[in-house]
Amino acid sequence: MAEQTAEHDRELGGADSEKERLWPSLAYSRQVEVLEDAVGKRIYIVELRPDDINLGIHLSDTAYELLAVLEFPRPDPGAGLAPHFILLDDGRGINLGRIARVSVDTPFNPPREQVLYEDRFLMDRLLRRERQLSHRFTAERSRQLLARILGKAQEEAEVGRCLEERSRRLEK
């Protein structure tokens, strides 16, 4: 199990070789093998929830029994459909292209050894990225929009922001 975990850790870290640029990658194939070995276990999934406007991500503390890992008849990288799907005990079959992470034992922030499958691109872009609705982001965006409305050049807005930041530092 330790060997399998070490190999799994390396694959989740990604690779830069030409072979890894193929679809599906070797890392994907290895992760599917790890999932197949986990059939019958209770798993936690981080699932994508696409709709007409947004692409959301759903984390749940509900454990599902993994019944099978099956080949998907119509994989399509452009549509985000992977060559495999998992069958869960609640009757759903979910394509791996719609899953960001599968883990065992814990649903939230699992250690690497408990991660059976992870789409690093999705996890980094949707779950681990910096949130944009911070005070800093809102203030910066407001300045940009106000500069555009007032017809000021972007450089002038940047100069104003730098001066404001400098004055805040001096106040402290």
Give one DSSP letter per residue of 44-77, joined into a string. Answer: EEEEEEE-SS-EEEEE----EEEEEEEE-SS-BG
Query: Is residue 91 located within the same domain as residue 167?
Result: no
Same domain assignment for residues 99 and 76 = yes
Q: For the segment 74-113, what is each residue's pLDDT rounded down to a tens digit?
A: 888 777 788 889 999 998 999 888 898 999 998 888 999 9
**Shared domain check, 145 and 111:** no
Average pLDDT over residues 4-33: 60
Model pTM above 0.85: no
| Residue closest to 14 by CA, chosen among 129, 127, 119 | 119
Q: What are the pLDDT digits (tens) for 142-160?
A: 888 888 888 775 555 565 6
What number of residues does the chain have? 172
Please indicate whether residue 152 or residue 43 has the higher confidence score (pLDDT).
Answer: 43
On whether both 111 and 146 belong to a single domain, the answer is no
Residues 108 and 153 in one domain: no
User: 168 in helix, strand or coil?
Assistant: helix
Domain count, the chain: 2
Domain of 8 in residue numbering reads as 2-127
Q: How far is the C-alpha of 67 from the C-alpha of 123, rounded, in Å?
A: 24
Q: Are residues 34 and 92 in the same domain?
A: yes
